[in-house]
Structure 1
Amino acid sequence: MSGFDKDLLVRELDVRSQEVGDSSIDLAAVKRRARRMQRRRALVGGTVAAVVAAVTVPVVMTLGLGLGIVEGPTDDPTVAAPPRTTLSTTSTTERPSDDTVRLSLDGLDRGAAPRIGYLDGSELITPDARGLTLDGRFSWITPYAQGWLAGSYDENGPRLNFLDAHGNLLRGQPGAGAVVNASGSQVAYVTAAESTNRTTQLVVAPTLGSEAGKLRVPVPADATPVGFLSDSAVVYGTDGERPEVFVATVAGSERVPGLLGASDATEHGLIAGATDRSDNGSCSAVVRADGFAQLWSTCDFSFEQFSPDGRYILATDAHRDGIGFGTLAILDAKTGAVVAHYQKQDRDMVHINAMTWEDDRHVLATVYDEGEWAVVRTDTRGSIELATVPVPGPDAECPLFFSLRP
């Protein structure tokens, strides 16, 4: 039995034990279901408008040797923020006690549709709010060569799929993941299919699709791209008995000491990743790309993505078990201070499948709650609202996936 199968079994047994552990009727749960039925009736009659910021920037990039890292942003005095817990650079992150927001679909107001692209089954919601039917089901997508580059997974592992502007499949090849730079002008992915001797390469390609503009760096077969530090510097991680993290440039790859895995990198000069992993949890740290000095660490959270402006970092449970996450936290990227914290309650059948930044202050997450999936919007102020109408679905099969963000 695989680790994933074990997680599913453990979670299912836990759920079933909660269901039969109390023979009395849960009146609060009945009220929640009634409110949800009323909300669904009100929402289904409306029109769902979705907006996506998935536009390829027509810029020809020059590949250089240096990292070209931009200094992180300063605090914006015009942006109000909730009270934060403080953190020294040597201590672990403290979670807020009074400002934690319940993570649930129950009773949420409907807000604007997602302002980034997302996949709903085999349909891509496009910038003009029309659905584009794709030639297959994919777990991520991004503009490429006047069409699309999308990811999928089959019995042989991850695949890269190249689609035309109408969503028709042009070709597919084995390849691990993809990341997009801040301007949306370049995409990086790992594949052996494009090398003459079938060695695995990290490919940095203009999203315009120019073959002549591609940068190729040899990498291990188990490499996966994580994020851009500059137009010519990409962070990638490797799996195996001893996972490692590297920065790849045209000069080759340089190992990032102290990290066992990377979550994200930002062109503001920071790398986030794990420093320790065990059956009981993990510890993570944010390090500077220039010199790899550690800024701060935590054993309370594991990391997801930096905000586009590099000011914040998304975080979730330090111990990831089961089929999803129970926590969405927004931390200060420079100090680790908790800015906003969303968490499911103990008895709620709630989990997050994926989360991503919508802009510098808002986060979208695909959330499952008692038989329904929806995209919710959270922010740095502790607000939460629905971004899509909840749809029915099993807990282990999320129908919604986000496009790659620049």
Structure 2
Amino acid sequence: MNHPTDPTNPAPDESAWEVAMSRDFDARVRDLHEAPLDITSVKGKAHKIKRNRRAAVAGGVLGVAAIVTPIAVLANSTDDAGGRSPEFVEQTTDTAAPPANPDYLQGTTWHQADGDTVELDHEYQQAVQWGDRLVGTRSGPEVYLVTEVLDEDGNVIESMNTTSPVAINDTGTTIAWVEDNGQVMTAWDGGETAIGSVELAAPGETIAWTAAAISGGPDCNEDADGCVVYLNSNLDEDARAVSSDGINDIAADGAKRVFDSTSDGAVSVVTEVDDFGDTCGGIYETQTSAFRFETCDYQVQQFSPNGDFFIGTQSQFDGAGPSRIALVDAADGQTEVNSFERDGWIVGDWTWSPDGAVIFTAYEGGRWHLMAMTVDGDTTELAEPVRGDDFATGFRPIRH
């Protein structure tokens, strides 16, 4: 099997936790309908998986890349969920120029930040920007997914079978994934190494372990920079951290899912999912083995490039996807600096751009929009809306 050396079924009972987990993983690998995205589903239910959008527990999964979407319960931004949900203010969209051009996919077209477009041979459901390369993930012929490394002209350099899209560190230098043989792999410019392994045996077509986040690098060899890869389970096990110095342990106290991590040891996690699908979590500091804060008001998802803010979604939302997202101060987990919410709209994919804006997709009335939201309070539309189904987004932001 080739690797990127040049960088660069279900259980008999379906608990609320299992449903939430399945939605989380579905969100990270949205529309990979031939892959086992859902622990309560098999290939024969692929069309249903496509409609199970980002879950409140997963990304992104209770978040897995990407990610979560509980389908068993309905929620909205005005439901106080027992006093958990904050007051949200509907934002209007500014028509000013966006802070910068983002990298994104539209069908098989790769829109690059410099304005160039590149036509690709395949449509990728998730992608990260790794140096001047694109690492895209698409559905495969079997249970696992196909992840390909492409050069700036769209040529495939390497290809591998993975359990999920790759994770990328906060400096964009190092990627991580779980191979179809259970090896936990990392790669950087000029090097690649396995830092551990997991057991992938699972009932039916369940994906046992997926790569959720990576910190450290760029060189993940034991005697170099060191790396920690965070793994999410779809077998009702706690999230784990596998490091290049041989440690394989729980990711954080009580962590059911990991969303993201930073180079200074902060990890965004979900720690609780109740019978109604509400979630709680927070930011865990691995250096002190303590939580910076815990909250049930948000799912704490991706960190901003400087680590000062995070993308927060409702702690619970229905199977169509979240109706809002907010940019929240990562120091206290409470102070919102911007948010997006519109009546009848749902939010699809989201990620941070290198200059600190959130690029996200939103759906309304048969149209998909590509949006940018900054910590300065601006919200702008980046491209002409495109027609599409509510489960097949017309745009896919590329993560850096």
Normalised TM-score (structure 1): 0.68
CA contact (8 A) 1:374 1:388 kept: yes
1:133 paired with 2:114, answer no
1:173 paired with 2:169, answer no
**Runs of 4+ more than 6 Å apart:** 3-11
Alignment of 1:81-160 (within 5 A): 95-96=86-87, 100-102=89-91, 108-109=94-95, 111-112=97-98, 114-143=100-129, 147-154=133-140, 156-160=143-147
Shift in Å, 1:131: 0.9
Shift in Å, 1:144: 5.4
CA contact (8 A) 1:148 1:162 kept: yes
| Residue 5 to residue 375, structure 1, CA distance change in 2 (3 Å) | same
Kindly provide the amino acid, as one letter, of the partner of residue 217 in structure 1.
G
Measured in 2, the distance between the counterparts of 1:102 and 1:146 equals 34
Shift in Å, 1:125: 1.0
Aligned with residue 195 of structure 2, among 212, 216, 221:
216
Shift in Å, 1:249: 1.4
Measured in 1, the distance between the counterparts of 2:260 and 2:329 equals 15
Kindly provide the amino acid, as one letter, of the partner of residue 95 in structure 1.
P
CA contact (8 A) 2:302 2:310 kept: yes
Alignment of 1:122-271 (within 5 A): 122-143=108-129, 147-154=133-140, 156-169=143-156, 172-175=159-162, 176-192=164-180, 198=181, 200-206=182-188, 208=189, 210-211=190-191, 213-221=192-200, 222-231=208-217, 232-250=226-244, 251-255=246-250, 256-271=252-267
Shift in Å, 1:305: 0.2
Q: What SS does the corresponding residue of 1:214 show, helix, strand or coil? A: strand
Q: What SS does the corresponding residue of 2:166 show, helix, strand or coil? A: strand
Which residue in 2 is equivalent to 1:32? none
Shift in Å, 1:397: 0.9
Aligned-residue Cα RMSD (Å) equals 3.0
Which residue in 1 is equivalent to 2:347? 352
User: Matched residue pairs, number?
Assistant: 310
Deviations 1:76-118 (A, max 9, x none): xxxxxxxxxxxxxxxx976245xx1337xxx652523853311
| Residue 241 to residue 249, structure 1, CA distance change in 2 (3 Å) | closer
Which residue in 2 is equivalent to 1:25? none
Normalised TM-score (structure 2): 0.69
Measured in 1, the distance between the counterparts of 2:160 and 2:340 equals 39
1:374 paired with 2:369, answer yes
Which residue in 2 is equivalent to 1:272? 268
Alignment of 1:301-312 (within 5 A): 301-312=298-309
Measured in 2, the distance between the counterparts of 1:341 and 1:183 equals 24
CA contact (8 A) 1:363 1:377 kept: yes
Measured in 2, the distance between the counterparts of 1:96 and 1:380 equals 18
Alignment of 1:282-301 (within 5 A): 282-301=279-298
Shift in Å, 1:351: 0.7
Deviations 1:220-265 (A, max 9, x none): 4322222233112224233234232222212232212211111111
Kindly provide the amino acid, as one letter, of the partner of residue 321 in structure 2.
G
Which residue in 2 is equivalent to 1:66? none
Deviations 1:376-404 (A, max 9, x none): 11122332111222122222210211222
Measured in 2, the distance between the counterparts of 1:311 and 1:363 equals 13
Question: Which of 396-405 and 307-316 deviates more?
Answer: 396-405
Shift in Å, 1:361: 4.1
Deviations 1:249-283 (A, max 9, x none): 12232212211111111113211110111333111
Kindly provide the amino acid, as one letter, of the partner of residue 158 in structure 1.
L
Which residue in 2 is equivalent to 1:47? none
Shift in Å, 1:9: 7.8
Measured in 1, the distance between the counterparts of 2:283 and 2:381 equals 31
Which residue in 2 is equivalent to 1:365? 360
Unaligned runs of 5+ in 1: 12-91, 193-197
Q: What SS does the corresponding residue of 1:101 show, helix, strand or coil? A: coil
Kindly provide the amino acid, as one letter, of the partner of residue 155 in structure 2.
N
Measured in 2, the distance between the counterparts of 1:5 and 1:277 equals 26
Measured in 2, the distance between the counterparts of 1:319 and 1:290 equals 29
| Residue 276 to residue 265, structure 1, CA distance change in 2 (3 Å) | same
Question: Which of 360-369 and 165-174 deviates more?
Answer: 165-174
1:317 paired with 2:308, answer no
Unaligned runs of 5+ in 2: 1-39, 54-82, 201-207, 218-225
Which residue in 2 is equivalent to 1:55? none
| Residue 249 to residue 352, structure 1, CA distance change in 2 (3 Å) | same
CA contact (8 A) 2:183 2:194 kept: no
Kindly provide the amino acid, as one letter, of the partner of residue 102 in structure 2.
I
Measured in 2, the distance between the counterparts of 1:205 and 1:291 equals 28
